[in-house]
Amino acid sequence: MTKRDYTQEFKEQILKECQEVGNVAVVARRHNISPNTIHTWRSKARKTGSTKPLPADEAKRIKELEARLERISTENDRLKRIVAEKELQIAIMEEVRDRKNPR
């Protein structure tokens, strides 16, 4: 077996496609990749937040980790706002439902 080097863009594209399709085996067959390879990429992406390896230089590594943390924090804040909006919508709908005469 030979090890192929895939670009970071390709790995991210495959992981996104797996998320959309919901089936790693189908995506793996479509691109002629081992499902285990995709699972490895997905595991690494979950651990580090990206499939891109961290730089060896400590200063660059810290800078990259800070950038990743900032992106994740921003995404987390956005998702919290979405959840809060949905909870408000549900509360309003329940209030309307519970009224005897909603007119």
The CA-CA-CA angle for residues 27, 28, 30, to 5°, reads 60
Q: Are the CB atoms for 45 and 15 separated by under 8 Å?
A: yes
pTM of the model: 0.50
Read off the pLDDT of each residue in 36-52 and give the average, rounded to a whole number. 81
- Residue 1 is predicted with a pLDDT of 40
Residue type for position 51? T
Confidence of residue 88 (pLDDT cuts 50, 70, 90): very high
| In the chain, alpha helices (H) | 8-21, 24-31, 35-48, 58-98
Residue type for position 70? E
11 DSSP 8-state letter: H
Q: How far apart (Å, rounded) are the C-alpha atoms in residues 81 and 78?
A: 5
